[in-house]
Amino acid sequence: MTTVKIAAIQMNSGEDVAANLTRARRALRSAAADGAVLAVLPENFARMGKRESDRIAITEENNAGPLQDFLAAEAARANMWIVGGTIPLKSDDPKRPCASALVYDADGKRVGRYDKIHLFDVRVPESEEAYRESQSATPGTRPLIVETPWGNLGVAVCYDLRFPEQFRRMANQGMDILAIPAAFTYRTGLAHWEVLLRARAIENLCYIVAAAQTGTHPAGRQTYGHSMVVDPWGAILAESPSRPGVCSATIDPAHLKRLRQQFPVLEHRRIKTVS
């Protein structure tokens, strides 16, 4: 199998949905023009409001709505797979939609939906920042693996990154590439973003493409940025600075296969508690 290029879209989303979509469209088309076959948008790419609850205003029905239409149309136009960051999709609780990352293939067909499992209910240490995502979102329950022409694609979101058992389960299901849309806070990103991404890549011998929000958002919230592509040995293949843009790198499925054969750590586990 030949090498392919994958891209992480880094954004500074605000409250203006139309403006955010215009920026996302420009970045996606730039990635496609550069030869990317897969692009990942960051968490909350369509809107970063002053409050977590602001997402309710753009909540869509499953399989129907302008944000989903946007993702499908851009994937088809660019002939490129897209992981659509997260958008709010209706759940059984009208006040708490799911934070859903949707996967579209190069024909614009939706082939996967992942609802964020771990919700960000924290007070950031040594800071006044506090978040209670569970008040405005309903958690998902199942990891997602999607078959692509270049290997099995897993999808997780932001705070999920801190829970290695989720990724071990995905590795058990054959994950080769992991897409991580995120909006890490500046403080937690500075401390842990890179090390967590590299650890998840090393532990599971997989490629990672992580797309992040960056900069200052409404109400003064700051996100860390530094979108990146990481290889299965933990090397950073590409990394964005702290401004919006496209971060891309070439990955080699054949190299991944050889590495797993030569260094079969996933087969050597003696404690297998995660199905």
**In the prediction, which pLDDT does 243 show?**
94
Report helix, strand or coil for 104: strand
Strand partners, 222: 216
**How many domains is the chain partitioned into structurally?**
1
Report helix, strand or coil for 206: coil
84 domain-assigned: yes
**Cα gap 153→179, rounded to integer Å:** 7
**In the prediction, which pLDDT does 126 show?**
78
Tell me which of 61 and 129 has the higher pLDDT.
Answer: 61
For the chain, give percent helix, strand, coil, nearest 5: 30, 30, 35
272 domain-assigned: no
**Cα gap 263→255, rounded to integer Å:** 12
Instruction: State yes or no: pLDDT of 23 exceeds 90.
Output: yes
Domain CATH for 215: 3.60.110.10
Instruction: Identify the DSSP state of 150.
Output: T
**In the prediction, which pLDDT does 272 show?**
73
Exactly one of 5, 43, 60, 90 is catalytic; which is it?
43
Please indicate whether residue 5 is annotated as part of the active site: no
Strand partners, 98: 89, 138
Instruction: State yes or no: pLDDT of 273 exceeds 80.
Output: no
Tell me which of 71 and 272 has the higher pLDDT.
Answer: 71
Q: How far apart are the first and last CA of the chain?
A: 29
Place 274 in a pLDDT band, splitting at 50, 70 and 90. low
Exactly one of 74, 98, 158, 206 is catalytic; which is it?
158
* pLDDT tens figures, 98-112: 999 999 999 999 999
274 domain-assigned: no
Beta strands per DSSP E along the chain? 4-10, 36-40, 81-83, 87-89, 98-104, 110-115, 121-123, 130-132, 144-148, 151-155, 177-182, 207-212, 214-216, 222-224, 228-230, 236-239, 245-251
For tokens 């090498």, the residue is: 3
* pLDDT tens figures, 163-212: 999 999 999 999 999 999 999 999 999 999 999 999 999 999 999 999 99
**Cα gap 71→68, rounded to integer Å:** 5
Domain that holds residue 98: 4-267
Q: How many angstroms from the chain centroid is the CA of residue 101?
A: 7
Place 275 in a pLDDT band, splitting at 50, 70 and 90. low
* pLDDT tens figures, 31-45: 999 999 999 999 999
Place 1 in a pLDDT band, splitting at 50, 70 and 90. low
**Cα gap 2→104, rounded to integer Å:** 22
Tell me which of 270 and 90 has the higher pLDDT.
Answer: 90
Please indicate whether residue 43 is annotated as part of the active site: yes
Please indicate whether residue 128 is annotated as part of the active site: no
**Cα gap 184→99, rounded to integer Å:** 15
99 domain-assigned: yes
Encoded amino acid at 110, one letter: R
* pLDDT tens figures, 204-252: 999 999 999 999 999 889 999 999 999 999 999 999 988 999 999 999 9
**Cα gap 59→212, rounded to integer Å:** 21
78 domain-assigned: yes
What phi and psi values does residue 231 have, to the nearest 5 degrees?
-90, 170
Exactly one of 5, 74, 90, 116 is catalytic; which is it?
116
DSSP per-residue letters across 48-98: --SSGGGGGGG-BBTTBSHHHHHHHHHHHHHT-EEE---EEE--SSTTS-E
* pLDDT tens figures, 121-164: 999 887 778 899 999 999 999 999 999 999 999 999 999 999 99
Helix (H) or strand (E) holding 203: helix 194-204
Cβ distance 75 to 48 under 8 Å? no
